[in-house]
């Protein structure tokens, strides 16, 4: 079965102010994710030996690789949104250039989709990483309790 990608025919009209708010919200979320990446890197560094000893290291390695890819994608999206923010001038300069404004709105919709998909995928990776780290920490704690006996 062949599927075709369809494009929405209905678009909500967004003002320059609404698009600016969207961009600021995306930047805030993406910068927060960037901080979370640093937190995860610290956690992974702290528990490296235990993670290596963990039963399912291949799955763990895949999750860590996914986190690294997520970090690269996050940096790309931040750059794209910053560029998009700078180009907002097209919408508010008072010059009616329909072609540029239409292109800007199209890019805004694409960024909306990209950021939403990225955040959805990131939350899945984050949940999996938390599960792995939780199991590793439990194992470390159990080992400490056994060693103290």
Q: Would you state the pLDDT for residue 73?
A: 96
pLDDT-derived band at 138 (thresholds 50, 70, 90) equals confident
* Cβ neighbours for 48, distance < 8 A, ≥ 6 positions apart: none
Q: Give domain status of residue 77, yes or no.
A: yes
Q: Would you state the pLDDT for residue 4?
A: 60
| pTM of this structure | 0.80
pLDDT-derived band at 12 (thresholds 50, 70, 90) equals low
Give CA–CA dist 63/73, Å, rounded.
15
Give CA–CA dist 90/93, Å, rounded.
6
pLDDT per position as a tens digit, 67-78: 999 999 999 999
Q: Give domain status of residue 9, yes or no.
A: no
The range of the structural domain enclosing residue 79 comes to 16-148
**How many domains are there within the chain?**
1
Q: Would you state the pLDDT for residue 81?
A: 93
Q: What is the mean pLDDT of residues 74-102?
A: 85
């Amino acid at each position: 079965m062949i599927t075709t990608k369809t494009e929405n025919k209905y678009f909500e009209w967004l003002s320059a102010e609404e698009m600016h708010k969207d961009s600021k919200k995306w930047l805030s979320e993406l910068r927060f994710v960037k901080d979370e990446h640093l937190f995860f890197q610290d956690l992974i560094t702290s528990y490296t030996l235990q993670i290596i000893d963990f039963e399912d290291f291949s799955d763990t390695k895949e999750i860590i690789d996914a986190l690294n890819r997520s970090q690269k994608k996050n940096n790309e999206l931040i750059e794209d949104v910053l560029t998009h923010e700078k180009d907002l001038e097209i919408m508010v300069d008072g010059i009616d250039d329909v072609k540029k404004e239409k292109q800007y709105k199209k890019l805004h919709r694409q960024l909306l989709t990209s950021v939403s998909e990225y955040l959805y995928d990131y939350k899945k990776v984050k949940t999996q990483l938390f599960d792995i780290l939780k199991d590793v920490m439990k194992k470390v704690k159990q080992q400490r309790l056994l060693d103290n006996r």
